Every structure is written in C-alpha cells, then in structure tokens.
Chains A and B, each alone.
Chain A
Amino acid sequence: MSKIKLPATIGHLERLVGFVSDCAKNTGFSDNRIREIELATEEALVNIFNYAYPDGPGDLEVSCTPQQNASLKIEIMDNGMPFDPLSLPDPDLQADISERKVGGLGIFFMRKMADELQYRREKGCNILTFIFLMKKAD
C-alpha cells in the first residue's frame, strides 16, 4: 500500500490525482481506465476541498492498495464534517440546456466509474473506499 497526506486544498489536486494515477499505472491499468480512475478521484477530492473544512484548514489522506483480483483499492480519508456523498441523488441527465443544473455530476461520475464505492464514518473521519477493476464491468 502507498499513501499520501496533504492539505485539503484545490492547489494540491494535481499532486493527489497524479499519485493515484501513478499507482494505477504501476498496477498495470490501461490509459483509458486510468483516465476514469482520475475522474472519480478528482470528483471525490473536489467535494472534500469544497465542503469538509468550512471553518479552517484540514488535511486529507489518499491510499492505494493493489488487490489480488486485478483491482485497485483507493481510500480517501478526511476528518472534516460528516458527509456521505452517496446519500445524494443523481442529477437529471435528461434535462435540456435551460433546465440543466450545474451541480451533482461529480458524485454521479464517482459512482459510474468505480466498480464498488462505499462510505463510512469512523473515529471522526469520513472514509470513501473505491474499488476499480482493470476492466470496468458494464
């Protein structure tokens, strides 16, 4: 397992996504699947940057663990406000341009790109666990 801990700010997005991307590459994921993993990771991170620490600075930690069945487990942990992104509904994907809302897509992408996605609150921390298979099941 490898991990990285950094302040939860947008300025660290590139480094955090790059860290996950390198893990996926070293595990043998295809470039296309890596783009999908980057997308799910970015959406989870941006939510934390925006909402976890309304009262001041805080950190987040990302860990990557290659699994035996050609998959990668990615955990993202913060000790900010309790927030379960999976409790939110998907956006209306059919809405036309004037009706279409600007938010909600991030969580949809997290769900869509991951093979498994779980949230738990443990010891004052939000923990999101993604499982990505090398080839996403349809």
Chain B
Amino acid sequence: MEIVYAKEEKASVVSVSGRMDGVSAPDFEQKMVSWINEGESNFVVDFGSLDYISSAGLRSILVTAKKLKAKNGRLLLCSLKDTVKEVFEISGFSSIVPIFDSVKAAVEEI
C-alpha cells in the first residue's frame, strides 16, 4: 500500500493505492491520526488506485472518521473501484462515510 499526501486549499487529499489489509491498514490510521493531530480537519481520501480492502481497512477508516467528527472535521472518500465499493455497500459503510465519484466532486463538497 502506498499513501500520498497533498495539501490543497480546501482539503488534504490523501491518495491510497494497492491493498488496505490487516498488515497495511494500521499504517493508514497512524498517518491520518498524525495529520489530524497536526491540525488538519478536512480530508478527501482518493481510493482510485485501491485494489482491495478488508475489515481492517474499514476499521481504520471508522476510527479516523470518529476522530474527525469529534473535532468537527470531515472525511470524504472518492473514486472507489467496483470491488472496493462492494465492500463499502454490503457493510453499510457507504452510509457512514460520504462517497464521491471524483476528487473534484469531493473537494467541492467541503
């Protein structure tokens, strides 16, 4: 899994590629928590190159989303591939975290 961070005017855009599994998900959570602790509060997470996610990945997203909610921040996801989208839909996570078709659409929402 690779994580690329870009600070934009309205939001921090975090692009995640590869596989978010039991090994790599804690890494995502740790990075997100450190950016939140540095004062960032609006995040767009771009999953356009994410091939796979397991419950460990969903757990790290839930932990991050709860943390941001407590600080009145926002976590938006975008560009999910079909197999990743399926995992969000059957788990009910698509109604917990807002999902957009593109980075642009997500950033405009903030």
Q: Which one of B22, B55, B65 lies within 8 Å of A97 (CB-CB)?
A: B65
Chain A residue numbers with a CB within 8 Å of B92 are 93-95
> Given contacts A97-B69, A100-B96, is CB(A105)–CB(B55) below 8 Å?
yes
User: Interface size on B (CB < 8 Å)?
Assistant: 25
User: Interface size on A (CB < 8 Å)?
Assistant: 29
CB proximity of B32 to chain A, nearest CB, Å: 15
The answer to whether B52 and A39 have CB atoms under 8 Å apart is yes
A107 to B, closest residue via Cβ: B55
Give the contacts of B60-80 with A (CB-CB under 8 A): 62-63, 65-66, 69
Give the contacts of A3-53 with B (CB-CB under 8 A): 10-11, 13-14, 17, 32, 35-36, 38-39, 42-43, 45-46, 49
- B30 within 8 Å of A (CB atoms): no
Q: State the B residues within 8 Å of A (CB).
A: 21-23, 51-52, 54-56, 58-59, 62-63, 65-66, 69, 82-83, 86-87, 90-92, 95-97
Q: State the A residues within 8 Å of B (CB).
A: 10-11, 13-14, 17, 32, 35-36, 38-39, 42-43, 45-46, 49, 93-98, 100, 102-103, 105-106, 108-109, 112
